[in-house]
Structure 1
Amino acid sequence: MKSTETRPAVMDGYYRAHEGIVNELYHYYRGKSKDELWLIRAELTRRQHMLGNIPLLASTMPIVFLIFGAQVNKYFPHDSLRWMIVALASILVIVWSINHHFRQKGRVHLDLLLVEEIMKERSQNADSAVQLEEARNSGAWPHPAMERMEHSEHKH
């Protein structure tokens, strides 16, 4: 799908094809405890900050060839087949590492988004449950929003 795509049928088809993995991840993270989610979030944050190493390594490879060009030319003359193989291999490594980087970056961001949303949802539910319990125990007339939450809890 192009980034400029605006046709609803194409967009719906694309997202329908990819929603399975998101649902599986969401259900996986929903089954984790608060402490487990905290640890997973910490690991994902660590991985998110380490992702810059791959492009750094890929972008420094040509600089290494420039610095050590004389030594490289000694073992791999420009007109030899070995030079072509080394150049092709280095290009493939660079392309693969950049592709791998962006795939990992996307997965880490997806996982981090899901974990943070679940943690936020749980904290909001915990806060609303505490507020509802405090209103019941205070003897004061409950707030209209709390009455709606109480009615919605009985429906589920």
Structure 2
Amino acid sequence: MKSTERNPQVLDAYYRAHEGIVKDLSHYYQSKSKEELWLIRAELTRRRHVLGNIPLLASTTPIVFLIFGTQVNKYFPHDSLRWMIVAVSSILIIVWSINHHFRQKGRVHLDLWLIEEIMKERFQNAGRAVQLEEEGTGAWPHPEIERVERIEHKH
């Protein structure tokens, strides 16, 4: 799909094909407790900052070949088949690493967004539950009231 695609049928088909993973991730993160979500979020944040190493590797590989060109030329003359194999394989590694980098970056951003949305939703729902308890219409009695009632029953 082109990034400038505007045809609704193409967009619908594309997003329908990819919605399964988002739903699965959302269900997975919703099943986690608050503490587990904080730990997962911390790991994803760390991973987001480490992802810069892949483009660094990809961009420095040609520079290494330039710096050590004379030594490389000694083992791989320009007209040899070995030189072509090394050049093609290094280009493939660079292309793969950049592709891998952006796929991982997209996945980390999706995971972080889902976790933050779930945490926001839980925070808003917790605020509503507190308001219901303050109004006295909540499903659960207030913990202080329960404690006072237990003390009164003992006496």
Give the whole-Å Cα distance in 2 for the aligned partners of 1:132 and 1:64: 65
Q: Where does residue 88 of structure 1 map in the other structure?
A: 88
Matched, 1:71 2:78: no
Aligned twin of 1:31: 31
How far is 1:132 from its partner?
2.3
2:121 matched to 1:121?
A: yes
Percent of aligned positions that are identical: 81
Deviation at residue 136 of structure 1 after TM alignment: 3.1
User: What is the alpha-carbon distance in structure 2 between the residues aligned to residue 89 and residue 12 of structure 1?
Assistant: 38
- AA of the residue aligned to 1:12: D
Q: Which residue of 2 aligns with 1:45?
A: 45
Q: Which residue of 2 aligns with 1:152?
A: none
CA distance in 1, matches of 2:34, 2:98: 34
> In structure 2, how many angstroms separate the alpha carbons of the residues matched to 1:122 and 1:13?
31
Report the Cα distance in structure 2 between the residues aligned to 1:48 and 1:134, rounded to whole angstroms.
41
Query: What secondary structure sits across from 2:136 in the alignment?
Result: helix
AA in 2 matched with 1:2: K
Aligned-residue CA RMSD (Å) = 1.0
TM-score (norm 1): 0.85
TM norm structure 2: 0.86
CA deviation map 1:82-132 (0-9, x unaligned): 110100110011011011111111111111111111011001100111122
The runs of 4+ residues in structure 1 deviating greater than 3 Å are: none
Give 1:26's aligned amino acid. Answer: S
CA distance in 2, matches of 1:26, 1:75: 53
Consecutive unaligned residues in structure 1, runs of 5 or more: 138-156
